[in-house]
Amino acid sequence: NALAVADHDGLDGGGALSYLTANTRVSLTAVPTKSGDGDSAPSWSPDASKLVFGRIQKGTSQYSSIWTVDRDGSNERRISIAGCYSSDPTWSPDGSRIVFWSSRDHCGTNGQPLTGDYELYVMNADGSSVRALGTAPNTKAPSFSPDGQSLAFASSRDGSAGFDIYTMRLDGSNLKKLTTTASDDTDPTWSPNGLRIAYR
């Protein structure tokens, strides 16, 4: 019954997080002071007690990191940090793991990723045991299936002109390409019964 949003307010890169209900807006994180900094891509935990999100802090050792915050805006906590971009964190249905995409292993200068080199990673919900999922570069926007056993994601891993939607098991097996278009297909989301995938 609540929609988490990132309010960019004209800033490049991110903004402040809040969530909307039918009657109110609840602020969660502070508005950044520098253009290019801020929070983005909030995702609810399965029990709706907290959100996980990406944060950019340019010019610091914490350039890009994954954070959580409680539903009332308290207990901001950094759970993963990288010298390059990390974004789109999403909880597994049981709340035990978080999947995200990052260029953490392909970092160029000034926090910028090497061209196209971003992959999928999974970690425990407390940020421990981060591991790459064995996906090829140019892979982003992961989404857990309702049973927590598979991922949908966007990738141009086969060298195609645009991103297409793929699925695979969490161990990297059973890779399937679902779309083939000249444009970019991205941001897949599973239906609650796991039979369909909506995408942008």
pLDDT tens digits for range 119-164: 899 999 999 999 888 766 788 899 999 999 999 999 988 877 789 9
Count other Cβ atoms within 10 Å, centred on residue 197.
16
Contact (Cβ atoms closer than 8 angstroms) between residue 15 and residue 31:
yes
The structure's pTM equals 0.87
pLDDT tens digits for range 33-46: 777 788 888 999 99
pLDDT of residue 166: 96
**Please, is 175 exposed, middle or buried when counting C-beta atoms within 10 Å of its C-beta (0-12, 13-18, 19+)?**
middle
pLDDT of residue 60: 66
Tokens representing 112 are 């910028």
pLDDT of residue 81: 77
